[in-house]
Structure 1
Amino acid sequence: MKKVVVLTGAGISAESGINTFRDANGLWEGHDIMEVASPIGWNNNPALVLDFYNKRRSQLHSVTPNLAHQALVELEKTHQVTIVTQNVDDLHERAGSSQVVHLHGELLKVRSQFDEDLILDWKTDLNIGDFCEHNSQLRPHIVWFGEEVPMLDQAIQITEQADILMIIGTSMQVYPAASLLQFAPHATPIYFIDPKPAIAPKENLTILAERATVGVPKVVKELINGF
């Protein structure tokens, strides 16, 4: 069974109705990114940060997986599929994907400030005064700017074993996620699916300049038929 590694970004979630949050001027919902997605922002105004992610969490409950998410689940019938996502939503899991690695954390989880390995499921609002068992404030389980990406090494190991690589809905401009491409074995077939593909053509690369809900089912059908 061939191993398919799938790298997904904001584009696949956007088609389910999840805002990408970053405006053309670089602001996230009217906030400077460092105000709501950095340790400095958290220390300066934790209430603002919690409100920002509470709104994101609330919106997540109102959307559902789309055809692209569902197609990746279908691919598991004939291939060993592992998804490495930059997204913090749970749409891959809700669609039924069995192997999902979240590089940037998960919106429906929180963690202790005292012990970063103490991670809890959390589906409602997180507020000031919500403490862990060590009497320490809980924070969103999100990798903020300036923080280490704890799942990166695992993602690299997964990518190194890929027989086929799919890249969906991401500009591949955000590091360290963008660096994963270089860890795929030489000559591994790569499918790049994005309406505005920003990637240099090469021999083993197939580019589909389409939305995820259009391009992903096409690639999945091709891979299943070629199985």
Structure 2
Amino acid sequence: MADKSRSVTKRKERKEKESAEVVKEVRNEGDKDGGEVSSEAATSNGENGELQVEPMELPPFEIIAGDRIDPFVFKFQFKNVEYSSGRNKTFLCYLVDRGDMADGLLRGYLEDEHTGPHVEEAFFTQCIPHYDPALKYTVTWYVSSSPCSACAAKIAEVLKVRKNIKLSVFAARLFEWEESEIQDGLKMLHAAGCKLRVMKPLDFSYTWETFVENEEQPLNLWEDCKDNYEFYQEKLADILQ
């Protein structure tokens, strides 16, 4: 099974309480009643000229959000193996510096279930919904796998429109890197100013300490972590050259 299935089938709504908890975890502001992100709100963003991309319907029950990842889930989903059978989700750990020291860094993670929007799309709607063109956003993602071609195109469009967002994407694995459309998407991201890199062993340790319920236990890296990093980094360098 590939990292990311492309199903467009809607999954059943979760309980209202679960939806509210999801939004509460990912957002510091409580200005949306019930935690719902409506398709009308997404359309409004486009009409204001702040984000000239196709509006996305993003019910909160399709994206799992939180502060720290379960350690067993992290070790499975972020393992940088070449053949990633069974890893059919994407985890995105994020840091956002909005250039305002009073607000501090935004930190958390998103997880998709591939029944609707992917985490790369959801980030811009859920994590920085109140985009301010006067601020300078420095955004860092640590993702379990690199974006699919559709997400890469949408991210590139965001970066072209929102010039004050500087995005760095560090990926544990490269998603279907042999496919030409995936390679084109990565090139598109790179051309749009996104910094792309494969996660180094130190990045896994940092992500473990910052985004995982580690109970103050260090991460014991798997034996082939460094070799796998070098493999993927070589492939990425070949794609972006």
Structure number with the higher strand fraction is: 1
Structure number with the higher helix fraction is: 2
Same fold (TM > 0.5): no
Q: Considering only CA atoms, is the larger Rg found in Structure 1 or Structure 2?
A: 1
Question: Which structure's relative contact order is higher, taking Cα pairs within 8 Å and 6+ residues apart?
Answer: 1
Normalised to the residue count of structure 1, the TM-score between the two structures is: 0.30
Normalised to the residue count of structure 2, the TM-score between the two structures is: 0.28
